[in-house]
Structure 1
Amino acid sequence: MMKPVFILLAVTCMMQSAFTQFEPNYDESKVPQFEVPDLLTTFNGEKITKAEQWEDKRRPELLRFFEEEVYGRVPGNLDAFSFKLLEQDDSAVNGKARRKQVAITLEKNKRSLNFNLLLYLPKGSPSAPVFLGYNFHGNHTVTHDPKVLITDAWNENNEALEISNNKATEASRGKRTNRWAIEKMIDAGFGLATIYYGEVDPDKNDFTDGLHALFYKEGQERPETNEWGSIAAWAFGLRCAMDYLENDGDISKVVIFGHSRLGKAALWAGATDNRFAGVISNDSGCGGAALSKRQFGETVGRINHSFPHWFADAFEQYNGKEEQLPADQHQLLALIAPRPLYVASAVEDQWADPKGEFLAAYYASTIYGLYGKAGITTDELPAVDRPIQNTLAYHIRSGGHDVMDYDWEQYISWAKKLFN
């Protein structure tokens, strides 16, 4: 009768040991000596000197590495894609905007998945650029607009947002307006397109009830070792949203945005789909914009143990062995070149390693230079709240891990220079 107890104790001890082994590091003196992988040297030692060589040789092999060993490969194509306009109104956001709510349906292997896209567009413009980004708890949380539909998908419980029993209700409407400066976007001539990420793939270590399950072969219950984790699934969902947006005549360009884990998804979506006119990473940290080899803040081992469903299983081979990585996150950022990219950090968000995010942007600037685009020209971290707004832009702001009005003010001013 005691055997199950011993097994439970053994599993608990193993979990505690893993977390102890992969504790985050907040001490710069403990950052190991490491070599930043060269963007301009292929894996077989060939030197790259021109943008054409980058596109023909170096970029494809880096994209393949991240696909096979970090985020995971999408195992096939959809059988069908469709969308339906659920609702629209021309008097939203204090009469300044048009609102659309669109249901997007993905079909594969006689299975289907639906998610809703909420779209606000400025009135008086035949077409407008939009920011596209996932939200964490439902489209209804980003606005007080009573017409926005409440998601019925699984939702992580959050006492502050009044979400319990893994279900969103009217009580959570407008609880995250602080992260979405919708009226500022509209006033500047931009629209917003947003999706609840849990409708695409619920954020839990369970691959049975999201996008992955559409692609399973008979008897399959989880992705294969080099197949996609949740970050790649969320990126896939963003690309499906783009399939709709590029065919909406009211939209001119799409700039993809993501915060934290959704910043990781935005970067991967931007790297794998050049239809996105620009990419914004807000506090994306480990597995996003931050250099993994620095082993500062959250590390590869820590993120894989805390969130085992985010990445491909193949990424686990680098747990505690970041020095063995043949590529690093500055090379992910470089995959977005020459399209505009904005990387942002927060001074109190040491978990996401602001210095590592900045250095990745600095090193990625080499590829932007190949295209004659301006990036980050110094490896010295800029002053807090003093943005560098080139084609490859960066800021580190006051405060912690969040999205604030300051962030959106910078993104809007940067995008206006580039896209309006």
Structure 2
Amino acid sequence: MIYFDYNATTPVDPRVLEAMLPLFSEQFANASSGHGAGRAVARLVEQARGQVASLVGTNRRNVVFTSGATEAANLAIRGVLAGAEPGRRRILVAATEHKAVLAAAAEAARIHGGTVGIVRVLRNGAPDLDHLAASLSKDVVLVAVMAANSETGAVADVRRACGLAHGAGALFLCDVTQAAGKIPVALDAWEIDLAVLSAHKIYGPKGVGALVARRRLQNRLTPLIVGGGQERGLRSGTTNSAGIVGFGRAAAIAAAELTTDADQLRRLTALLQHLLTEQLDAVELNGPAVARLPNTVNLRFAGADADAVMTSMPEVAVSAGSACKGSSSEPSHVLTAMGLGSTAASESLRFSLGRPSTEDEVHAAVGHVITAVGHVRALARRTRTRPHPRVFSP
């Protein structure tokens, strides 16, 4: 299997697993316990909090551990809307946000009384900041724009978007799940109020993520899970010590190797794109040519249904959309928001490379893709030209 779906999830780095293993056996104490063993684990958790904070350019006190970015987005959006003033209950969300953010905004508006407005995106997938500026008014409480899109890799100018939101008196939420570990993230320098991310996108374990919230905002948030008051009362439940330590170690590795990883992935992704566009006709790039994640390219193979192509090349793992799309037959909401028709969107594949990817894998994958696309196109042509059976009535 050639795995080119690293934006969906990543394997746990062996160095991360090594850091986690003692938390399952030797250092298994509850981090909330007052005895020495518990305090030792609590120190490891706090070390991890600092490592995650360092990766995204914020203070460790702003990091609240959750089960993942989805929970973090729900905690942030519902919390902000629950405490919003009566005249400020509209949320603006970019059209290409992850379904976790889109659904959380819709649910928060339903529960707490509010509305959700959609910010258009440009043809290359970047948010239309002129449309954002025109959509802002005194009734907007929160603006959500992701730093980088999982399907096209499009990188947004979130610093400018945040400035526009603040100018209208609104808070700003940034999903940095795909950006963290791939490009530099500087939440405090960008003046971001709220951000979300997950460990399993940066070679850490699944089931752990974080909400980054400025301390002045944490008191305004309403917890989704109540109980023992862990994570400063924002996320109760026995601390997932092993997962958090793994998250921290993954963040530290990502920070240390970000430049090296990015250079290597940019080279391999460019090679993949070059070979496919050179050796296949009717291949179109979805998304920006330059301002995108170094590991991601989304290509349309005109005349070849993406699901059929994937079925025809079981040796290669790629995606026809984000992992949240699952088995849905609907075209990608990201690509349709960019202006692609349903047919064009259904003929598009995302290739997302990762730290373990090699040049040999790129060449092998290209061969499989060329064969699969050729097979699917030929089958489609035969289907279109096959004469319809004639029906005779007595």
TM-score, with normalisation over the residues of structure 1?
Answer: 0.25
Task: Indicate the structure whose relative CO is greater, using CA pairs within 8 Å and at least 6 residues apart.
Answer: 2
Higher helix share: 2
More strand by proportion, 1 or 2?
1
Instruction: State the structure with more CA Rg.
Output: 2
